[in-house]
Amino acid sequence: MFAVVHFPDFVLQAGLRGAPELWELPVALVDPGLTPLRVCAVTKGARSCGVSEGATPTQALARCQDIRIRHRSLAAEAAATEATLQCAYGFSPSLELTSLGMVTLDLRGLAALADNDPAALERWAQRLRAALAALDLRAQVGVGPTPNLARHAARWTDTLQIVIAPREFIAGLPVAALEPSTHVAEILAQWGIRSVGELLALGQAEVADRLGLEALALFAAASPTASRPLRCVRPSERFEEVFDFEEPVETLEPLLFLLRRFVDQLCLRLEPAGLVAQQLTLRLQLESGGPALEQILRVPEPTRASEILFRMLHTHLESVRTEAAITGVGLIVHPSSPTQRQFGLFETVLRDPHQLQETLDRLSALLGAERVGSPVRQPGHQRDAFKLVPPDFENAPAQQWVQPELLQPVPWRRLRPSPAAQVETQEGRPVSVRCAVANGKLKITVGPWRASGNWWEPSAWAREDWAVETDQGSVCRLSRESEGWRATDVLD
């Protein structure tokens, strides 16, 4: 058995996926690749007003003043096609992209449909239609013994049709199902031929003598037994949703409303493939033109939970300020396989890494991204030389071996900022100190330890450190730089 999924008005469905409420309004899509512009798809509301394919935008507005003219989106059609293939692949691994808006599936070998039970086939097809409806795609499904019969069944039904008696089914189809040329269709109408059964009753040889080679193609399309191999394809692992706004957007609410729909649909597409979201790429197209604003958001713990992914986007957009209104939005999910980790007996993990990431994002929005992160020491001997990097909890260093107490370093307490000190020296060695943390004559002085760096840059530095103890028992570390003496550390 074969199944064909047909999407009527696929170009229109792809263009209106992000705004299903437009289906009830008069809407026309024009193809920007044509000169002059021509209408390529219309809704029922527009068709009832007399607007049809091939009309110019001016003619469409003349026939319906309330019609909404939108451009055809090739990017939206590509995203809808990928969504269709990814969804259908979860129902059958052997599938073919027959044409734009039509997918053929080979049901042979599926254990659930091994008996060709009509009830089982209907339940299977209903689940397929429900999965596509969750992606805002309206599908007609036809099931038959051959790809040709399944295609006819899908095109000439409103919802679902299963072909049980192939010859009776073919005979009941209208002649238009065979897609004859305009000239041949007029001749058949003059003959009074309305159905495929009436055409088959005339005989192939007799019709071919009068209509030529096209008659052979018509009889081949009406064959209830002819079959063909499928050109099987494998859906790509590209998960993207795009939408162009009818009017430029200046507020956050409509953008969040659309992104929530995107996230829900992308998570539904990830689930059949057993993948999770590892990274998000958000693109905003501005009214001023130019390249789109792009932001990459790393998911701290790969997941396909829509609530978590949407909260990340919401937190990011709260701090975004654009120079112009937004005319289009795109969201790409970079997938990965879910990972299972085995932790040690005494190893602890973050209770909620997504909540921590959201907190860090909010802090970055308030303080600036350059002021939030994990400190990492810079190479060299300059004091307080470090930089902030994004936290990486996955590759945190393992717990090191604890040294015996006798081998542990002295626990100096760093003073920030370091208070200025008045130091008296004799022959280059400090003999007394007066500062906020120590006062008096020095009983013990150890040093000096000299360090310098960046001598080739304007930010060159040099210092001289001493460890000292006063006659009152205070132990501290003194540092002499170009600005003078400072007390940098104390021993509690």
Residue 22 phi/psi, 5-degree rounding, is: -75, -15
Condensed to tens digits (0 to 9), the pLDDT of residues 141-164 reads 999 999 999 999 998 888 889 988
Mean pLDDT of 440-465: 86
pLDDT of residue 349: 60
Condensed to tens digits (0 to 9), the pLDDT of residues 423-432 reads 999 888 999 9
pLDDT of residue 402: 63
pLDDT of residue 129: 92
| Domains defined along the chain, listed by start | 2-164 (3.40.1170.60), 239-336 (3.30.1490.100), 412-491 (no CATH)
pLDDT of residue 428: 85
Burial of 343 (0-12, 13-18, 19+ CB in 10 A): exposed
End-to-end C-alpha distance for the chain, whole angstroms: 83
The answer, yes or no, to whether residue 355 has pLDDT greater than 80, is no
Q: Which of 56-65, 209-218, 345-354, 454-463 has the lowest mean pLDDT?
A: 345-354
Q: Which of 58-72, 264-278, 382-396 has the lowest mean pLDDT?
A: 382-396
**14 near 76, Cβ under 8 Å?**
yes
pLDDT of residue 332: 92
Alpha-carbon distance values, 112 to 4, 119, 124 (Å)? 18, 11, 9
- pLDDT grade for 366, boundaries at 50, 70 and 90: confident
pLDDT of residue 262: 92
Mean pLDDT of 108-118: 81
- pLDDT grade for 352, boundaries at 50, 70 and 90: low
- pLDDT grade for 403, boundaries at 50, 70 and 90: low
- pLDDT grade for 138, boundaries at 50, 70 and 90: very high
| 62 vs 454, more confident | 62
pLDDT of residue 370: 77
Mean pLDDT of 285-310: 86
Q: For residue 443, what are its two tokens?
A: 């009983």
- pLDDT grade for 371, boundaries at 50, 70 and 90: confident
The answer, yes or no, to whether residue 339 has pLDDT greater than 80, is no
| 390 vs 323, more confident | 323
Mean pLDDT of 32-38: 84
User: What's the mean per-residue pLDDT of the chain?
Assistant: 86
pLDDT of residue 401: 60
pLDDT of residue 18: 79
Q: Residue written as tokens 């604890």?
A: 402
The answer, yes or no, to whether residue 492 has pLDDT greater than 70, is yes
What Rg value do the Cα atoms of the chain yield, rounded?
36
Provide the β-strand partners of residue 249. Answer: 326
The answer, yes or no, to whether residue 348 has pLDDT greater than 60, is no
pLDDT of residue 341: 64
| 248 vs 348, more confident | 248
